[in-house]
Amino acid sequence: MKAFVIDRYGKRETGRIGDVPEPDLRDDDVLVKVHAAGVNALDSKIKSGAFKLILPYRFPLILGNDVAGTVVRVGARVHQFKPGDEVYARPDDDRIGTFAELIAIKASSLALKPKNLDMVEAASLPLVSLTAWQVLVETARLTKGQKVLIQAGSGGVGTIAIQLAKHLGAFVATTTSTGNVAWVKALGADVVIDYKQQDFAAALHDYDVVLNSLGNDELDKSLRILKPGGHLISISGPPTPAFATARGLAWPLKQVMRLLSRGIRKKAKQKNVEYTFVFMRADGAQLREISTLIESGAIRPVVDKVFPFKDTNEALAHSESGRAKGKVVVQMV
């Protein structure tokens, strides 16, 4: 089959489309014909080698962390899916590879595609919607009336997190650039900070939750807007010893993460707020709950640009540019 692969790590590494063997189908797997695959910041981070300590992939490596497609075959122990079903998923992080004609995915990581979406729209959602869910619902336990800041509101995660937070009844602030202010307000944000004109740390106060997806400066500033007992949740790091324990990482890596996060954990403790690093995981059951919200109209996909499979390198470059409003998608079929 055809797939988009990289042969080594590197920030300037460009992938290639080549022939690779079809994936093996395990007893609890579903073989999916890929119609479309979402592009994520995670793809570029994996390509650069940013996660090679915790995700030791083999080369050649097929990139891609989002998929929508149709079921071709199912494993012997799979009964909830059948050939022809339209499905979508974020594959488990040790079995990525959606920039390909076929992918084998654990049935427990898969969900039926929302009926009101086409394949491109569906492919844009799994990773970012699961990230938003695992931050706001699972980790923050966001409730009606609470105040949440969602950094980078025009990005892939931000566009979905704003909609989910509003559905949960929260008061939502977000940051974006000048040209996107009205656009993210239309997604449901109550307060929009134009970071080119205003410092969010000076404008906001007494927030319950911050979803950080940016760098260390924004992480430190986020502490200043949280009220005592608040929760700072970062999807961009630094990772914590608790994260290392949850992933079963070796003791030396746990110590590295203890050092990396020591500063922010100490500052959070001094402010009487909690700091958590979230590295999203595949979860078909959560994706089914998200599908219900999509079919009800509470969450809608935001697709910036669609590229044909032959232009996957260009799709990655566009995503890396930081100019995308919502998600970039590669279309296979």
Q: How do residues 202-212 score in pLDDT, each as one tens digit?
A: 999 999 999 99
Task: Give the residue, 75 or 324, on which the prediction is more confident.
Answer: 75
Enumerate the β-bridge partners of residue 204.
none
Average pLDDT of 214-221?
Answer: 93
Q: pLDDT-based confidence at 183, cuts 50/70/90? A: very high
**pLDDT tens figures, 254-296:** 999 999 999 999 999 999 999 999 999 999 999 999 999 999 9
Average pLDDT of 43-64?
Answer: 93
The mean pLDDT value of the chain amounts to 96
**pLDDT tens figures, 288-325:** 999 999 999 999 999 999 999 999 999 999 999 988 99
Average pLDDT of 241-257?
Answer: 94
Query: Closest Cα to residue 221, out of 267, 173, 277, 161?
Result: 267
Segment among 10-19, 119-128, 161-170 with least mean pLDDT: 10-19
Q: pLDDT-based confidence at 12, cuts 50/70/90? A: confident
Residue-level pLDDT at 11 = 87
Q: What distances in angstroms separate CA 166 from CA 21, 128, 160, 292, one per listed residue?
A: 44, 16, 10, 16
- Three-state DSSP string of 18-86: EECCCCCCCCCEEEEEEEEEEECHHHHHHHHCCCCCCCCCCCCEECCCCEEEEEEEECCCCCCCCCCCE
Task: Give the residue, 3 or 237, on which the prediction is more confident.
Answer: 3
Distance CA 145, CA 241 (A): 32
Residue-level pLDDT at 137 = 98
Residue-level pLDDT at 63 = 98
Burial of 56 per CB tally in 10 Å (0-12, 13-18, 19+): exposed
Distance CA 98, CA 114 (A): 19
Domains of the chain: 2-125+302-331 (3.90.180.10), 128-277 (3.40.50.720)
Average pLDDT of 92-120?
Answer: 98
Distance CA 150, CA 134 (A): 14
Residue-level pLDDT at 53 = 85
Check pLDDT > 90 for residue 54: no
Q: What pTM was computed for the model?
A: 0.97
Check pLDDT > 90 for residue 91: yes
